[in-house]
A and B are shown apart, each in its own frame.
Chain A
């Protein structure tokens, strides 16, 4: 094994410089719930670990322009315990809550969940539907990137090796908006999604849907934002006919694998069932949120 170097810089620019200068494999370390497991099981043998948790701006959660800025390394427990954020984005919280045990959520971050690029990452579909924007910093400066453009394949992202996500911006929320996320797993807790669906929608004062985003997880190489599925709800009262159209679009977007946890047919079927339930949950929340 090559020498492992551990660095814990206190600024984003120092972190980026370390990554830019790395000769062999380098890994950003946030909560480590993927990185340390991958090191322990010898899936990866990095030469450099850049722990970003000493950088203040990657850890906080604060109000910004009527929305929220959430540090990329803010922990799951920190996010769930933030009452304002949790009240505003219940669907994002449903995703974050499903990330492993209480112990795992004591460390795991949304930044890591996104950048690890597992197709089944639970906080990712609701981040997509929330329209969260990742702030990405590299040697050339700052880019603001819609989260759905970050994962590109299992374990792969669109980030350059010397770029890090420092935070996510969750935009201001119109009244009569609601989001929800549900996944299917064989067990209730501590399991990996066989499929997951997130929906975020807004209604006007007559109950007509003005905007809707639908995302699916674990049924394609990355989580997917399904534009047609969202479009099927816009201009409707999210009635059964509209939901059926949305479900058909969500199923059509699935490109699942076949494995012991679920066949292709099963994953596609259940994605539709979940999409229907999640639409109803999001609608109920939007109606209650006057």
Chain B
């Protein structure tokens, strides 16, 4: 199988990779670049566990080919904390029990980050609709949504 040489930026670091044409961005992140923070739940776009931000747009890494990411700027969960300093969303989700098993958490955090970059002061309903593509089997969503709203408030300095 012919491999494609791609270069991409992930969380500000430049990477070179050889990818097979049918390999998704999710496979590329996890298996080629060994960035396993991004999770695979379904591989068909339904669960949102693989949510990443590509060139500023929130999307499922499983619904994009690795070759399509050539030249792209990708943001993943690995870039969220700055060293030891957690992002306010990460802190809020820990403090308000917004996670249990944790499999959905990286995707939820990336989706929530994209939301707050667009809308720093979302209502609860807007937050619920925005996160509708992120399935969570554990929390019942209430604590998740609360965590996002708490973080939003903190980030606004309110």
> Assuming A100-B133, A189-B132, A190-B132, is B45 touching A106 (CB within 8 A)?
no
How far is B68's CA from A53's CA once the two chains are assembled, in angstroms?
Answer: 9
Number of A-B residue pairs having CB atoms within 8 Å of each other in the complex: 89
Chain B residues 21-77 with CB under 8 Å of chain A are: 21-22, 24, 43-46, 48, 51, 54, 57-60, 62-65, 67-68
Q: Which chain A residues border B43 with CB–CB below 8 Å?
A: 40
Count class of interface residues, chain A:
20 to 34
Are B59 and A103 in contact, CB atoms less than 8 angstroms apart?
A: yes
| A107 partner, pick from B2, B59, B114, beta carbons under 8 A | B59
- Return the chain A residue nearest B46 by Cβ: A190
| B57 partner, pick from A32, A39, A49, A75, beta carbons under 8 A | A75
Q: Which of A2-10, A13-21, A149-157, A265-273 contacts B (4 or more CB under 8 A)?
A: A2-10
Q: Which chain B residues border A29 with CB–CB below 8 Å?
A: 65, 68
Q: Which chain A residues border B24 with CB–CB below 8 Å?
A: 36, 40
- Return the chain B residue nearest A53 by Cβ: B68
Q: Is B4 among interface residues, defined by CB-CB distance under 8 A? A: yes
Q: Is A77 among interface residues, defined by CB-CB distance under 8 A? A: yes
How far is B65's CA from A190's CA once the two chains are assembled, in angstroms?
Answer: 23
Q: Is B103 among interface residues, defined by CB-CB distance under 8 A? A: no
Q: Which chain A residues border B65 with CB–CB below 8 Å?
A: 6, 29, 32, 36, 49, 51
Tell me the smallest distance from the CB of A210 to a CB of chain B, in Å: 36
Contact with B along A193-222 (1 / 0, CB 8 A): 000000000000000000000000000000
| B22 partner, pick from A4, A31, A103, beta carbons under 8 A | A4
Tell me the smallest distance from the CB of B45 to a CB of chain A, in Å: 6
Are A39 and B63 in contact, CB atoms less than 8 angstroms apart?
A: no
Q: Is B1 among interface residues, defined by CB-CB distance under 8 A? A: yes
Q: Is B93 among interface residues, defined by CB-CB distance under 8 A? A: no
Q: Is A289 among interface residues, defined by CB-CB distance under 8 A? A: no
Chain A residues 153-206 with CB under 8 Å of chain B are: 188-190
Q: Is A41 among interface residues, defined by CB-CB distance under 8 A? A: yes
> Assuming A32-B63, A37-B45, A103-B48, is B133 touching A51 (CB within 8 A)?
no
How far is B21's CA from A41's CA once the two chains are assembled, in angstroms?
Answer: 16
Q: Which of A5, A6, A33, A189 has the most CB of B within 10 A?
A: A6
Chain A residues 85-131 with CB under 8 Å of chain B are: 100-104, 106-107
Are B63 and A104 in contact, CB atoms less than 8 angstroms apart?
A: yes
- Return the chain A residue nearest B114 by Cβ: A102
Q: Is B111 among interface residues, defined by CB-CB distance under 8 A? A: yes
Contacts from A to B (Cβ < 8 Å): 3-6, 8, 29, 31-33, 36-37, 39-41, 49, 51, 53, 75, 77, 100-104, 106-107, 188-190
